Structure 1
């Protein structure tokens, strides 16, 4: 793996008359971990689907190292980009090892078998997500958290220079949340990840993009993005933000009650 550059340029996605994403631009430089934050319905998943070529943009572009991602051959793009979607798959009648081995497909010709190097990469990917002991088990018999880890391992086996993840910590216990995000932090790859947990986003991400109603409200280092004012505006909550004495990262504490002078944001409510 080696990091690649991602550029999303004035991207708009619609569903009928509704804007899912409106004029969104972002950049992820080689080796950065970029986080998307925002409440449910803010456009995070839709934006990621446009990046990994499930939803075609109405306008705007997704560029990977300067090339239009939607114009690249599927196989070529798969050698550069891997995606982990929000819902762990089901109905896959394969062993865990076979699922992870699917990550090697973009690097093979038709009918090629697994090589010793493939086996090494599969073993390494399983170990990276603490799933080596699951290798012989049926994927469909795993818990949601176990399936999630296996799908992350499949993406790692793909050796992507760009890794796109939609809520990868869903279904994971706290230990595996920390281990998975720590592993992503250490990868020699560019990472674009949507996260609900703002404290995890603050600690593990280089920069954040905050979305609301399909638009980027603000972006920058976590300390600049995660402010009480933004959390009141975007999430409709009262929060205190302090610097954690050990990590130096912003630490968000949510408090009961509505923020003073603020109205909880609805899906159609304009920003002031």
Structure 2
């Protein structure tokens, strides 16, 4: 597994008269984990779909090692880019091992069987997501979190040079969130990931792009991007941002708004109930 240079250059995406993403540019390099953050509906998933070639830009381009992604042959694209998406509700009538082995398909010719190398890669991918014990279980009987780990393992078995993930920590408990993001952090591949959890994004991402209403409003290292002013402006919340003494990453603490509704009257011991 190696990395690839990703360039999103002035990409605009439309659906009818509605603009999903407008004039977005970003870069990601081999070995980097680049995060997309922003409120629901800000355009993160749409932008990822343009990168893994589901939504064609109406303007701009997606470049993969200098080539336009939409000009690449399907087979080459499948060997280069792996995606883990949110809409993964397909009920495979397969075992977990068979689902993960599907990640090897782009590297095979028609009717090719599995090789010992394929088997080793499948085993390694399962182990990376703590899924070895799931190997023989039916995929369609797994919990949501188990399915998510299996789909990430399938992407790892594909050995892409560009890995695109849309909320990969959905449904995962905190231990598996940390393990999965730790695996991504250690890959030589280029990783582009949309995350809701800003503290996970701050710790595991090299750079962040903040989207709001389909546009990039801030970008850079997490310590420069995650500021109380940005959080108030983009998310509409009050927060404190400190540097964690052990991780040295920004730590966001959200402050709840004051209670709303009628104020409670103070108890007055001299006040008597009407007779």
Native 8 Å contact 1:232 1:239 kept in 2? yes
Query: Structure 1 stretches of 5 or more lacking a match?
Result: 259-272
1:244 counterpart = 2:258: no
Please identify the structure whose Cα radius of gyration is greater. 2
Name the counterpart of 1:23.
Answer: 23
Question: 2:242 aligns to what SS in structure 1?
Answer: strand
Deviations along 1:123-181, whole A, 9 cap, x unmatched?
A: 00000000011011110000000000000000000000110000000000000000000
Q: CA deviation at 1:87?
A: 3.3
* TM-score, reference length from structure 1: 0.94
Name the counterpart of 2:226.
Answer: 226
> Which whole-Å CA distance do the structure 1 matches of 2:141 and 2:191 have between them?
29
RMSD: 0.8
Query: Structure 2 stretches of 5 or more lacking a match?
Result: 259-275
Q: CA deviation at 1:86?
A: 1.3
1:130 counterpart = 2:130: yes
Name the counterpart of 1:267.
Answer: none
Native 8 Å contact 1:89 1:147 kept in 2? no
Name the counterpart of 1:56.
Answer: 56
> Which whole-Å CA distance do the structure 2 matches of 1:229 and 1:101 have between them?
46
> Which whole-Å CA distance do the structure 2 matches of 1:98 and 1:59 have between them?
39
> Which whole-Å CA distance do the structure 1 matches of 2:204 and 2:141 have between them?
31
Native 8 Å contact 1:93 1:140 kept in 2? yes
Name the counterpart of 2:142.
Answer: 142
Question: 2:30 aligns to what SS in structure 1?
Answer: coil
> Which whole-Å CA distance do the structure 2 matches of 1:58 and 1:48 have between them?
15
Native 8 Å contact 1:228 1:241 kept in 2? yes
Deviations along 1:95-115, whole A, 9 cap, x unmatched?
A: 101100000000000000000
- Detail structure 1 runs of 4+ shifted over 2 Å in the superposition: 87-90
Name the counterpart of 2:70.
Answer: 70
Name the counterpart of 2:98.
Answer: 98
Q: How many residues align?
A: 258
1:160 counterpart = 2:157: no
> Which whole-Å CA distance do the structure 2 matches of 1:162 and 1:89 have between them?
23
Q: CA deviation at 1:3?
A: 1.0
Q: CA deviation at 1:89?
A: 2.8
Q: CA deviation at 1:30?
A: 1.3
Native 8 Å contact 1:5 1:29 kept in 2? yes
Q: CA deviation at 1:90?
A: 2.9
